[in-house]
């Protein structure tokens, strides 16, 4: 059984972009519209010769109803199934209440979690990343999923801790 890595975070932070980057899948799951990926998607990633199973999720935004509630439920299920969680936030958008809610959920479940500040392109990392430390998760890993920047550093750290 491969280690299972779940990508969680509110819609539009770049989970599917990172999923495609990690799994090398070209059949685009990436949505230009927030929250289009409703289902969990599984793909294999290989980092330095180590295989991982990566799970993409639709996202959690807090206070869900209807289809959003189903999406949130699936994200929670993905968290339960995972060995490790990559919790994505958006450096352009900054820290949001939904991010804080997700952080609480992860704390309750005490899953090993890596906080990924995606979309660091076009922001000053020293300023943009600071608020994310308030989530109390620890290190903040800056990435630009669209270009792959920071992804190797992040995944090497994940592998070290497995
Ligand atoms: P998801 O809803 O969390 O799966 O987010 P997506 O992967 O669908 O990405 C949402 C939008 O953010 C898309 O338009 C992506 O191209 C864009 N995006 C993802 N990663 C980055 C990034 O690192 N930098 C920038 N500028 N945009 C990104
Ligand atoms: Mg998506």
* Domain positions in the chain: 4-161
Cα–ligand 2 centroid distance for 30 (angstroms): 6
Q: What is the mean pLDDT of the chain?
A: 85
pLDDT band of residue 30 (cuts 50, 70, 90) is very low
Q: How confident is the model at residue 109, as a pLDDT?
A: 87
Q: Answer yes or no: is pLDDT of 68 > 70.
A: no
Which whole-number Å values give the CA distances from 15 to 45, 86, 143, 152, in the listed order?
14, 9, 11, 16
pLDDT at 22 over 60: yes
Residue nearest to atom 6 of ligand 1 (CA): 14
Distance CA(2)–CA(53), nearest Å, equals: 6
Task: Please check the confidence at residue 32 and state whether its pLDDT lies above 80.
Answer: no
Tokens (6 digits) for 153: 């550093």
**What is residue 58's predicted lDDT score, i.e. its pLDDT?**
73
Residues lining ligand 1, CB < 6 A? 9, 11-17, 30-32, 34, 37, 59, 118-119, 121, 144-146
Prediction ipTM score: 0.99
The whole-model pTM stands at 0.89
Are the beta carbons of 57 and 75 closer than 8 angstroms? yes
> For residues 40-70, b (16+ Cβ closer than 10 Å) or e, as one string?
bbebebebeeeebbbbbbbbbbeeeeeebee
The CATH-assigned architecture of domain 4-161 is 3-Layer(aba) Sandwich (3.40)
């Amino acid at each position: 059984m491969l280690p299972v890595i779940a990508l969680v975070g509110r819609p539009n932070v770049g989970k599917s972009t990172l999923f495609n980057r990690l799994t090398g899948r070209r059949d685009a799951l990436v949505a230009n519209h927030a929250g289009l990926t409703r289902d969990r998607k599984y793909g294999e990633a290989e980092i330095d010769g180590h295989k991982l199973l990566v799970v993409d999720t639709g996202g959690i935004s807090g206070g869900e109803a209807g289809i959003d509630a189903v999406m949130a439920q699936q994200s929670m299920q993905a968290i339960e199934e995972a060995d490790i969680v990559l919790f994505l936030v958006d450096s352009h958008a900054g820290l949001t209440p939904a991010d804080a809610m997700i952080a609480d959920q992860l704390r309750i479940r005490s899953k090993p979690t890596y906080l990924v500040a995606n979309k660091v392109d076009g922001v000053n990392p020293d300023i943009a990343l600071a608020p994310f430390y308030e989530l109390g998760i620890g290190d903040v890993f800056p990435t630009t999923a669209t270009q792959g920047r920071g992804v190797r550093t992040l995944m090497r750290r994940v592998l070290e801790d497995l």
